[in-house]
């Protein structure tokens, strides 16, 4: 949950937008500001998972997005699908792509390969730690630079799935994500009142049918 003690959780209301659905899987387009799963406090119960459970009581969580991140979120409709999806993620056969707007001029493409660990004194923040951190890799490809706002639109592909990985990796290379209240609070402005990070594409072979799925979501910023 956010570090701001004055934070009041007020998630966007309305029906969840469904990107893909079959007998085994449900894929939604999570809006920014909505938790992926229920929080510990009663006022933090409303979440994408709780809303999915209202329709599919046997649904299972397969992965998560930060509350401030929007985009593609995958759920399994039953236990067998959950196990199959879990194996798929563990084998890293799922390709995940995000679009972000980052501060400054980022050019070309490359890889950020620095280990991450929880910053226990400032939870839920994560930090780079070369001694005790867990391996984390992110591929990036700059798309366009906007001079007036001094920011770059970039395509990100996480190879690993560490908490806050994309946010910390972009900050580490000197290009924090615009609108990120934790890692780039000075990037908040009228153009980026939300964090500009969106899970735009998920590519994988259906773990039970073998069908190739290329699921996409339009970037809202």
**Residue-level pLDDT at 6:** 74
Identify whether the C-beta of residue 189 lies closer than 8 Å to the C-beta of residue 60: no
Q: What does the mean pLDDT of the chain come to?
A: 95
Prior bond to 192 cis, omega within 30?
Answer: no
Identify whether the C-beta of residue 125 lies closer than 8 Å to the C-beta of residue 164: yes
Q: What residue spans define the domains of the chain?
A: 17-216
Per-residue confidence band for 5, with pLDDT thresholds at 50, 70 and 90: low
- The closest of 49, 139, 138, 146 to 105, measured between CA atoms, is 146
CA 43 to chain centre: 22
| DSSP helix/strand/coil, 93 | coil
Q: In the predicted model, is pLDDT for residue 2 greater than 50?
A: no
pLDDT tens digits for range 114-158: 999 999 999 889 999 999 999 999 999 999 999 999 999 999 999
CATH topology of domain 17-216: Pseudouridine synthase (3.30.2350)
pLDDT tens digits for range 56-101: 999 999 999 999 999 999 999 999 999 999 999 999 999 999 999 9
**Residue-level pLDDT at 192:** 82
Express as a percent the part of the chain with pLDDT over 90: 89
Catalytic residues: 66
Per-residue confidence band for 1, with pLDDT thresholds at 50, 70 and 90: very low
Q: Out of 24-28, 40-44, 126-130, 175-179, pick the least confident.
A: 40-44
CA 76 to each of CA 16, 58, 109, 194, 211: distance values in angstroms, whole numbers, following the listed order = 16, 9, 34, 28, 16
pTM of the model: 0.93
**Residue-level pLDDT at 114:** 98
Find the radius of gyration of the CA atoms of the chain. Answer: 17
Per-residue confidence band for 4, with pLDDT thresholds at 50, 70 and 90: low
CA 102 to each of CA 70, 146, 173, 177: distance values in angstroms, whole numbers, following the listed order = 16, 10, 11, 4
């Amino acid at each position: 949950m956010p570090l701001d003690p004055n934070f009041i959780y007020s998630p966007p209301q309305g029906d969840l937008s469904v990107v893909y659905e079959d007998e085994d899987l449900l894929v939604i387009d999570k809006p920014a500001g909505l938790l992926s799963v229920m929080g510990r406090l009663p006022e933090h119960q409303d979440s994408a998972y709780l809303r999915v459970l209202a329709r599919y009581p046997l649904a299972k969580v397969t992965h998560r997005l930060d509350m401030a991140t929007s985009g593609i979120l995958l759920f399994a409709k039953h236990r067998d699908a959950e196990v199959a999806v879990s194996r798929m993620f563990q084998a890293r056969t799922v390709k995940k792509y995000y679009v972000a707007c980052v501060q400054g001029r980022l050019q070309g493409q490359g890889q950020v390969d620095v280990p991450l660990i929880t910053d226990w004194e400032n939870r839920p923040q994560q930090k780079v730690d070369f001694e005790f951190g867990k391996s984390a890799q992110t591929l990036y490809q700059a798309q366009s630079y906007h001079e007036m706002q001094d920011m770059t639109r970039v395509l990100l592909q996480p190879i690993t799935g560490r908490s806050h990985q994309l946010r910390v990796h972009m900050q580490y290379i000197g290009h924090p994500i615009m609108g990120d209240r934790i890692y780039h609070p000075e990037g908040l402005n009228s153009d980026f009142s939300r964090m500009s990070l969106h899970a735009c594409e998920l590519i994988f072979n259906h773990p039970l049918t073998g069908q190739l799925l290329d699921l996409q979501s339009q970037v809202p910023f």
